[in-house]
Amino acid sequence: MPKEMMYGEAMATAIAEEMQRDADVVFYGQNMAMTERDPMLRMFGKNRVRLAPISETAEIGIAVGAAITGLRPIVELWMSEFMLVAMDQVLNEAPRLRYMSGGHVKVPLVLKAGYGFAAGWAGQHSNCIYHTMMGIPGLKLALPSTPADAKGLMAAAIRDDNPVVYLHHYMLTLDTGDVPDGEYVVPFGVADIKRAGSDVTIVATGWMVKKSLTAAEQLAREGISAEVIDPRTLAPLDVNTIINSVKKTGRLVLVDQAPRHSSAAAVIAAEVAEKGFEHLRAPVVMVTALDASVPYSEPLEYYLLPNEDKIAAAVRSVVPERVRVRA
């Protein structure tokens, strides 16, 4: 039976269920498990649930060392930018150790962090830094957009034998939705068609999926049928589902909260240009953040980021009047 649950709660449920299932899973990070009242601490004990100091390099590096020797650590990093102070461990240690060892070791760990906070957190706590990670062979990258995916992707991340960066979108934390009860695993590399359509393909992740779905409803009222695809994992990236959709619609709008040249959109555009060019009836359009750091003040922030109106406008620019079917 599915249960209505918040996105944040769904992630936490997956962690607790996986820790119940597998004694090798440990969970630690800053500002957690500080008192004996902590529910995870009560459930799993201080050996497996730990408080860490503000030391991302040590936290992530220790996770790497623990993973290659038999644990499955989850590191709570809170905000994705905090990984930037430990980028060697994220990009140059965790994903490379298996390869460099010729397959001798595996590195099963999860780096859990929020991203894309659009609530006045200004330049250093609002970013989308996944582009840097999605191109590193050996690293996997999951970005759930719904409570159900938040649970299923977390379970998959913990069970995966590779390092996974699990990015949850801050703006979705309180969103509710049906979440399957009990064991629920969303496989990596399988995009989800969040809304079926025939005139245009919209690809988005995280918060942008929600905005794209809102835009699609408006567009439907205008006679435009938009298909909304959420890749759910950027590494591995399900290019086939996107190409198959473009075969049907002939038009592609890529929505991404990151700045243009550090967006996943740019990578997807290149894949479609190479593998799906003959199916395109219009240029690929990217709706991304403008090329500036995220500003503090609300109107400035709103102006910078993609929104429903910008998405709808981009779709209208590639769907000619003649194909619009008014109800």
- Residues assigned a catalytic role: 125
- From residue 178, alpha-carbon distances to 5, 41, 70 in Å are 6, 27, 34
**Is residue 48 part of the contact set for other proteins (CB under 8 A)?**
yes
Q: Which of 108/250 has CB closer to other proteins?
A: 108
**Residue 33 in contact with residue 51, Cβ under 8 Å?**
yes
**Is residue 20 part of the contact set for other proteins (CB under 8 A)?**
no
In sequence order, what are the beta bridge partners of 115?
169
**Is residue 57 part of the contact set for other proteins (CB under 8 A)?**
yes
Q: Which stretch binds other proteins (CB under 8 A): 137-145, 151-159, 172-180, 217-225?
A: 137-145
**Is residue 68 part of the contact set for other proteins (CB under 8 A)?**
yes
**Residue 57 in contact with residue 86, Cβ under 8 Å?**
yes
Q: Which of 49/143 has CB closer to other proteins?
A: 49
Q: Which residues contact 254 (CB under 8 A, 6 or more apart)?
A: 202, 203, 204, 263, 265, 268, 269, 284, 285, 286, 287, 288
**Is residue 35 part of the contact set for other proteins (CB under 8 A)?**
no
Shortest separation between residue 54's beta carbon and other proteins, angstroms: 9
Determine if the peptide bond prior to 73 is cis (ω within 30°).
Answer: no
**Is residue 65 part of the contact set for other proteins (CB under 8 A)?**
yes
Q: Which of 103/299 has CB closer to other proteins?
A: 103
Per-residue binding string, other proteins, 270-289, x by CB under 8 A, is --------------------
Can you tell me whether residue 256 is helix, strand or coil? strand
Q: Which of 3, 106, 275, 281 binds other proteins (CB under 8 A)?
A: 106
Q: Which of 35, 37, 69, 326 binds other proteins (CB under 8 A)?
A: 69
Q: Which residues contact 200 (CB under 8 A, 6 or more apart)?
A: 219, 224, 225, 226, 227, 249, 251, 252, 253, 315, 318, 319
Residue from 87, 233, 88 nearest 164 by CA? 233
**Is residue 33 part of the contact set for other proteins (CB under 8 A)?**
no
**Is residue 31 part of the contact set for other proteins (CB under 8 A)?**
no
Report the 10 Å Cβ neighbour count for 85.
14
Q: Which of 55, 176, 293, 317 binds other proteins (CB under 8 A)?
A: 55
